[in-house]
């Protein structure tokens, strides 16, 4: 699991704190003495997988650099109700001001990791791997994708810059799969760079066209299980380099096992980041 770079994440944290704190936490300022010190525990209220402990720590440190954050678990660890994820200590004012923003990150990221782990468990024993998508909260792309990796999933492209993914609208605008692939190759040659190339197909005849022209990966968009099996067979019968096959389109936890058993290599699940349920975590003062 690739670790988050603090410098990349601090602008996100700073914006979140500015949104929440504004020109001051008036409740805390008017009720808690300036010199009051405190300790608090971050506690899981339900079972799941934790992610975002490092981000929570950075939030508290951004509020008050003297706050100490002692993680009792690591990102990616399974947790059960009642587990203490971390303890924080220092200025009571700082702990209270940073509490909600820290928990917002930690709960969302742990929710993503938990859902991802459930999908990974559902396809266990097959060769399929679970992928995320770009259906992330704007501005939280790196955080969301880190949480997917913490849950045992794989990251798809990070953005529009690190992989070619020709979807229906690109193909329509380029007047077909053939012209689109030709234009991509010319573009990479002209710019002197090379990135993986994936093509979305909706039919087996479109798949045949891509297999003749060549691509690194083919996305099978909303295909039936029978069509996926036939697509896998077509690729297995190819001589030479074989593209990866990615199943995509309204993948649910109840149906993902059947998709995996068709033999596809990858299954992308938008719900990991666009429909996540936050993991219930609370912060309790001592």
Has 36 been annotated as catalytic?
A: no
Options 132, 198, 200, 206, the catalytic residue: 200
Which residue in the list 20, 87, 202, 221 is annotated as catalytic? 221
Nearest to 127 by CA among 232, 1, 249, 273: 232
pTM: 0.96
Q: How confident is the model at residue 286 (pLDDT cuts 50, 70, 90)?
A: confident
Active-site annotation holder among 39, 167, 185, 257: 167
| DSSP E strand stretches across 143-264 | 164-166, 197-201, 217-221, 244-248
16: Cβ contacts below 8 Å, ≥ 6 apart: 59, 101, 104, 105
Domains defined for the chain, CATH in brackets: 6-121+276-285 (3.90.1170.20), 122-274 (3.20.20.70)
Q: Say whether 132 sits in a helix, a strand or coil.
A: coil
Query: Would you call 200 a catalytic residue per the annotation?
Result: yes
Mean pLDDT rounded to a whole number for the chain: 97
Q: What is the pLDDT of residues 71-86, one digit of tens each?
A: 999 999 999 999 999 9
Question: What residues contact residue 212 under an 8 Å CB cut-off, 6+ apart?
Answer: none
CA angle (81 as vertex; 78, 86 as ends), nearest 5: 70
Of 39, 41, 135, 229, which one is the catalytic site residue? 135
Q: What angle do CA 85, 87, 91 make, to 5 degrees?
A: 145
Annotated active-site residue 234? The verdict is no
**Token pair listed for 249:** 């389109």
Catalytic (active site) residue 100 = yes
Among 41, 100, 134, 141, the one annotated catalytic: 100
Catalytic status, residue 241: no
In the predicted structure, residue 2 carries a pLDDT above the cut 90: no
């Amino acid at each position: 699991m690739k670790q988050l770079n603090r410098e990349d994440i601090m602008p996100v944290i700073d914006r979140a704190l500015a949104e929440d704190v504004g020109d001051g936490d008036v409740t805390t300022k008017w009720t808690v003495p300036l010199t009051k010190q405190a300790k608090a525990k971050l506690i899981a209220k339900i079972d799941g997988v934790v992610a975002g402990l490092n981000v929570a720590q950075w939030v508290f440190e951004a509020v008050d650099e003297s706050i100490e954050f002692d993680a009792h678990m690591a990102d990616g660890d399974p947790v059960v109700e009642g587990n203490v994820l971390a303890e924080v200590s220092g200025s009571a004012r700082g702990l209270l001001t940073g509490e909600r923003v820290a928990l917002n990150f930690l709960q969302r990221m742990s929710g993503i990791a938990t859902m991802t782990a459930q999908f990974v468990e559902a396809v266990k024993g097959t060769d399929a791997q679970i992928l995320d998508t770009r259906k992330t909260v704007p501005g939280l792309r790196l955080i969301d994708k880190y949480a997917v990796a913490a849950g045992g999933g794989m990251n798809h492209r990070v953005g529009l810059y690190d992989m070619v993914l020709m979807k229906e609208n690109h193909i329509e605008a380029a007047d077909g799969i053939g012209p689109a692939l030709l234009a991509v190759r010319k573009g990479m040659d002209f710019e002197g760079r090379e990135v993986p190339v994936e093509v979305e197909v909706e039919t087996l005849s479109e798949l045949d066209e891509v297999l003749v022209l060549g691509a690194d990966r083919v996305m099978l968009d909303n295909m039936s299980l029978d069509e996926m099996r036939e697509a896998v067979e077509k690729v297995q019968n190819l001589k030479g380099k074989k593209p990866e096959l990615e199943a995509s389109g309204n993948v649910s936890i109840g149906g993902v096992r059947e998709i995996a058993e068709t033999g596809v290599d990858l299954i992308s699940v938008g719900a990991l980041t666009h429909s996540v349920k936050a993991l219930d975590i609370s912060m309790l003062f001592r």
